Amino acid sequence: MPDLLASPYYRAAFMGVALVAASAAFVAVNFVRDTRTRTAVAKTITSGDPGRAPQVFRRYGCSGCHTIPGIPGADGQTGAPLTGLSKRVYIAGVLENNSDNLVAWIVSPQNFSPQTAMPATGISQKEARDLAAYLYAQ
């Protein structure tokens, strides 16, 4: 009986499986590293805690109007989707996208766009910083 482990076909298959596994591990490690880096940068620029954001989003009903990545049930269609917010040039089309402007917009949107449909919710600066950190970490 031929030794299957020594066959060129087995070795080629094994190398293929090993290459796929190594590639998957590389992608996973880089994804985790990129996520950690984005989160660390977001915390630094906003002084917020993205870990507190899911509760804040729910408390103020943000998910009723916005689609928010990573928040179960946040599939609102009234407001802009908040996916990829960190890559946008403007916030709501009226403010340069930076952390101070995002926090200010979340707290008092009518100060910047009186006709906006986004309500003043009574959210605090601290809570708005947590939301900003979450959105920039995505």
Residue recorded with tokens 């590639």: 23
The full DSSP string for the chain is ---GGGSHHHHHHHHHHHHHHHHHHHHHHHHHHHHHHHHHHHHHHH---GGGHHHHHHHTTGGGT-B-TT-TT-B-SSSPP-TTGGG-SEETTTEE-SHHHHHHHHH-GGGT-TT-SPPP----HHHHHHHHHHHHH-
- According to the model, what pLDDT value does residue 28 have? 54
Closest to 129 in 3D by CA, of 42, 38, 46, 43: 46
All domains of the chain, ordered by start, with CATH?
Answer: 4-137 (1.10.760.10)
Task: Tell me the whole-structure pTM to 2 decimals.
Answer: 0.76
Residue pLDDT, tens place only, 27-77: 555 555 677 888 998 999 999 999 999 999 999 999 999 999 999 999 999
pLDDT of residue 26: 59
Question: Taking 50 as the threshold, does the pLDDT of residue 24 lie above it?
Answer: yes
Tell me the pLDDT tens digit for each residue of 82-118.
999 999 999 999 999 999 999 999 999 999 999 999 9
